[in-house]
Chains A and B, each alone.
Chain A
Amino acid sequence: MTSVRRALLGATSVLWLALAANAWAFSPDEPLADAALEARARALHAELRCLVCQGQSIADSNAGLAQDMRAVVRERLAAGESDEAVRGFLVERYGDYVLLDPPVKPETYALWFGPAAVLVAGAGLVYVLLRRARSGVGAAGGAAGGPAPLSAEERRRLDALLDDDS
């Protein structure tokens, strides 16, 4: 029973792997002959958003538009443009949205630095609260923590009480 199931599982896994590999291999694009240029094109593909599928880069997408955009990137690199210029060409037409990593500029400060700011603010708050709690212990005369040291007057009265007992 288990062996049959295991065999079945194995067979389906192999089938899925084969299909996945097939999907991976799907690339109708013509790579550039120059290996260095092609590497730059691949790097750019990975950081540009496919506008149709939106969650994917154009490197990962089989959408027609992604295919066209890959070709545009290759053409422009082959024509001698810098990575920056190619990026700029697409940003001009599709906006910053086409970049998977949003650029750092005033409108995106909250996005880039917000989490760090919240962390720092939280740490500051914890620090202040802890300090206040500690100084509060001293002021309340040991009400919420260990006992405060006895004053001279208290020490004297305690000694007197102890003496009484003996």
Chain B
Amino acid sequence: MADEGTRTPAEDQAAAKPVSPALRLRYLVPVFLFVALAAALGVQLLTGEPGKVPSALIDKPVPAFSLPAVQGFEEAGGFETAHLGQGEIALVNVFASWCGPCRVEHPLLMALAEAGTVPIYGINYKDTPADAERWLGRLGNPYARMGADVDGRAGIEWGVYGVPETFVVDGAGRIRHRHVGVLTPQDLDETILPLIEDLRG
């Protein structure tokens, strides 16, 4: 006890605070936190598609819309809500002659229509009637029914923000899937067709 007062400050400190491995690890906590945060943000930054908007319409009934026939295809009639959900699964494709990517996916739609796997309905979005007629005349018409959405209002009903967009509608008239952008054979084989199989049970 009499020894107490003769210790140097350094000895005193060492005795009071032994630097344990646990304590040393504590200094690394901010580093770990930083790495974890950076990883989380990095994953969010590098994965996913920032341009894609999550659809609000999945599992909702198709919106109310009624479109007149596309010029030059009057005998087929227009396209409206009542045509969907008659117990038949269908694709609804939003397209326009001014839309480059639509031309890219067009052959795939033609092939799909020819195979008769699933009926395809078309919404001709904000197109000039004469241009749409010429475009379909040259490239072919894969659509079982088509409607001309000249002012884009049906597009807003469907939550469309870019063309092409493709929806899968089930037999009860509910939207089950939405694809934004060009439909590729891979999208068809890996997502759309399996989903249709699934819905058919």
Question: Which residues of A are at the interface with B, using a C-beta cutoff of 8 A?
Answer: 51-52, 54, 64-65, 68-69, 72, 91-97, 136, 139-144, 154, 157
B162 interface residue, CB < 8 Å from A? Answer: yes
Asked whether, in the complex, the Cβ of B56 is within 8 Å of the Cβ of A144, the reply is no
Asked whether, in the complex, the Cβ of B161 is within 8 Å of the Cβ of A139, the reply is no
B56 partner residues in chain A, CB cutoff 8 A:
91-97
Asked whether, in the complex, the Cβ of B153 is within 8 Å of the Cβ of A54, the reply is no
The minimal Cβ–Cβ distance linking B132 to chain A, given in whole angstroms, is 16
Q: Is the interface of B mostly helix, strand, loop or mixed?
A: loop
B18 interface residue, CB < 8 Å from A? Answer: no
Asked whether, in the complex, the Cβ of B126 is within 8 Å of the Cβ of A64, the reply is yes
B151 interface residue, CB < 8 Å from A? Answer: yes
9 examples of A-B residue contacts, CB within 8 angstroms: A51-B162, A64-B126, A68-B152, A68-B155, A68-B156, A91-B56, A93-B157, A95-B53, A143-B16
B116 interface residue, CB < 8 Å from A? Answer: no
In the bound assembly, the distance between CA atoms of A162 and B136 in angstroms comes to 111
Q: Across the interface, name the chain A residue whose C-beta is closest to B13.
A: A143
Total B residues in contact with A, Cβ cutoff 8 Å: 24
A97 partner residues in chain B, CB cutoff 8 A:
53-54, 56
Q: Across the interface, name the chain B residue whose C-beta is closest to A141.
A: B12
B158 partner residues in chain A, CB cutoff 8 A:
93
Asked whether, in the complex, the Cβ of B159 is within 8 Å of the Cβ of A94, the reply is yes
Asked whether, in the complex, the Cβ of A65 is within 8 Å of the Cβ of B152, the reply is yes
Asked whether, in the complex, the Cβ of A68 is within 8 Å of the Cβ of B12, the reply is no
Assuming the contacts A64-B126, A68-B153, asked whether A51 and B161 have C-beta atoms less than 8 A apart, the reply is: yes
In the bound assembly, the distance between CA atoms of A51 and B158 in angstroms comes to 13
Q: Across the interface, name the chain B residue whose C-beta is closest to A154.
A: B5
B78 interface residue, CB < 8 Å from A? Answer: no
Assuming the contacts A64-B152, A65-B152, A143-B12, asked whether A95 and B5 have C-beta atoms less than 8 A apart, the reply is: no
A136 partner residues in chain B, CB cutoff 8 A:
17
B162 partner residues in chain A, CB cutoff 8 A:
51-52
